[in-house]
């Protein structure tokens, strides 16, 4: 708290270390849960769980759900729900698969794999997602049909329009430029990853300093310098650890030889290269940062939270809440398109069941991440962390040989327990009755 009047009060000695750091207790809880999952599986698997290779895989597998969960936070904060995201993902994926392999090549007479076609495909896919989201938003915002109903309908409709789009067939995708978005096939390598990590760290430190200066310029008391330093240190540490760890995952020798052969060269003896940051994870990070900026620092975000806290107040304050609903769902649709691109690139094909049941994972990620279904409360980083916790659990259980049905049982229980703990915590703080 940076309350000027507060410093004079006697209550100051009882401030805990977390209050001084202004650390969100809920975030802290999630980080601890994540750490617990990591420690348990690391011990259980004898260290394999935290190997660069497995960290890389978990990161890559988390991306589509995490991207959509960012959009779901806004949807739920504004007191709506979107059950159709899995089907919208499938629909976007179908459109992109068909346009790059059939439609665009036949219209322009070019070969599959032409970069221009891929670019057009990506734009078409994102536009399709945005359009589908806008339709949902219009039905919810302007026609006042409950979002649960609209998107439950959408779940059936888009899933099956998807089926007709491809005639029920899987489409195999081999364009190397597309596969770059999938993970293993599109990595930045160690040097570029390190540079990005250092750039991101610099940016984070700059942001902390700038925010502190702005507060000081208005005469507010700010956190002690040591607290700011600790926070900055933690953030920089996490960024560099993550980047550094992924930069220790070597690309297999056979694959390197193939890559050299493809460009007509022979691989020098003893050559090695590391994976580094996958492009898909970079996209997720950019989405999360952009969505956080929208949530915290833009009018749009402020209005979304206001509408979730008190829809009447938002309306009476002159906010066009109907158009706001359209924007929220359009953004959700756009992110479904982006997630579809990454999902199909990772699977290297479009199948009918792509994104099946993904809506439930997305909602679960947002809710585990602290988004309240009653609206008004939620964070982007929470949703990403929620997706990461679920994926880690599942990946860890798979590694130690837990059967798939039991994995899903655990994930379901974790969802319930996460919300339960949150309710108990809020009761104890007196935040709710």
Applying CB under 8 A, the residues found at the interface with another protein are 1-6, 214-215, 217-220, 293, 297-299, 302-303, 305-310, 312-319, 376-377
Q: Considering the complex, what minimum distance in angstroms separates the CB of residue 4 from another protein? A: 8
Residue with smaller CB distance to another protein, 105 or 309: 309
Q: Considering the complex, what minimum distance in angstroms separates the CB of residue 21 from another protein? A: 15
Residue 31: exposure state from Cβ atoms within 10 A (0-12, 13-18, ≥19): middle
Residue with smaller CB distance to another protein, 154 or 382: 382
Residue with smaller CB distance to another protein, 225 or 316: 316
CB 231: neighbour CB atoms within 10 A?
17
Question: What letter does residue 236 receive in the DSSP assignment?
Answer: H
Distance CA(129)–CA(335), nearest Å, equals 7
Q: Considering the complex, what minimum distance in angstroms separates the CB of residue 5 from another protein? A: 5
Residue with smaller CB distance to another protein, 141 or 355: 141
Residue with tokens 């000027």: 4
Instruction: Return the exposure string of 95-107: e unless at least 16 CB atoms fall within 10 Å of the residue's CB, then b.
Output: bbbbbbbebbbee
CA 84 vs. chain centroid, Å, equals 17
Q: Considering the complex, what minimum distance in angstroms separates the CB of residue 310 from another protein? A: 4
Tokens of 155: 């779940």
Reference 188, options 274, 122, 253, 288; nearest CA is 274
Residue with smaller CB distance to another protein, 218 or 405: 218
Reference 382, options 16, 6, 4, 25; nearest CA is 25
CB 193: neighbour CB atoms within 10 A?
22
Q: Considering the complex, what minimum distance in angstroms separates the CB of residue 220 from another protein? A: 7
* Total H helices, total E strands in the chain: 18, 2
First to last CA, the chain: 24
8 A C-beta contact, residue 73 and residue 371: yes
Residues in the chain: 433
Residue with smaller CB distance to another protein, 214 or 404: 214
Q: Considering the complex, what minimum distance in angstroms separates the CB of residue 332 from another protein? A: 21
Residue with smaller CB distance to another protein, 22 or 253: 22
Q: Considering the complex, what minimum distance in angstroms separates the CB of residue 312 from another protein? A: 6
């Amino acid at each position: 708290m940076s309350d000027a009047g507060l410093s004079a009060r006697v209550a100051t000695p009882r401030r805990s270390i977390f209050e001084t750091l202004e650390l969100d207790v809920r975030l802290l809880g999630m980080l601890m849960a994540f750490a617990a999952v990591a420690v348990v599986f690391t011990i259980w698997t004898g260290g394999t769980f935290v190997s660069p290779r497995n960290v890389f895989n978990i990161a890559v597998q988390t991306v589509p759900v995490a991207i959509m969960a960012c959009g779901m936070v806004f949807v739920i904060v504004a007191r709506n729900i979107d059950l159709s995201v899995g089907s919208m993902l499938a629909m976007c994926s179908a459109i992109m698969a068909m346009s790059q392999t059939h439609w665009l090549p036949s219209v322009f007479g070019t070969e599959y794999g032409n970069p221009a076609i891929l670019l057009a495909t990506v734009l078409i896919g994102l536009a399709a997602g945005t359009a589908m989201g806008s339709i949902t938003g219009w039905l919810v915002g302007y026609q006042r049909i409950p979002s649960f109903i609209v998107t439950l309908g959408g779940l059936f409709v888009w899933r099956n329009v998807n089926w007709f789009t491809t005639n029920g067939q899987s489409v195999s995708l081999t364009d190397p430029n597309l596969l770059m978005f999938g993970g293993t096939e599109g990595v930045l390598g160690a040097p570029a990853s390190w540079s990005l990590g250092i750039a991101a760290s610099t940016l984070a430190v700059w942001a902390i300093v700038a925010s502190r200066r702005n507060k000081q310029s208005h005469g507010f008391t700010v956190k002690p310098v040591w607290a700011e330093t600790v926070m900055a240190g933690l953030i920089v540490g996490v960024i560099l650890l993550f980047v550094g760890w992924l930069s220790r995952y070597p690309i297999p020798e056979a694959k390197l030889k193939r890559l050299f052969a493809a460009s007509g060269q022979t691989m020098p003896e003893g050559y090695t290269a590391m994976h580094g940051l996958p492009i898909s994870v970079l996209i997720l990070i950019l989405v999360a940062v952009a969505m956080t900026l929208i949530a915290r620092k833009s009018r749009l975000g402020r209005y979304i939270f206001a509408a979730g806290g008190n829809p009447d107040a938002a309306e009476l304050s002159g906010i066009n809440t109907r158009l706001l609903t359209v924007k929220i769902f359009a953004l959700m649709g756009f992110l479904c398109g982006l997630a579809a691109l990454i999902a199909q690139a990772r699977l290297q094909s479009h199948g009918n069941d792509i994104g099946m049941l993904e809506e439930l994972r997305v909602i679960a990620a947002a809710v585990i991440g602290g988004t309240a279904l009653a609206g008004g409360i939620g964070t982007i980083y929470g949703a990403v962390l929620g997706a990461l916790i679920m994926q880690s659990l599942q990946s860890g259980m798979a590694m130690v040989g837990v059967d798939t049905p039991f994995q899903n049982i655990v994930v379901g229980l974790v969802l319930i327990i996460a919300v339960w703990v949150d309710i108990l915590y809020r009761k104890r703080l007196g935040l709710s009755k």
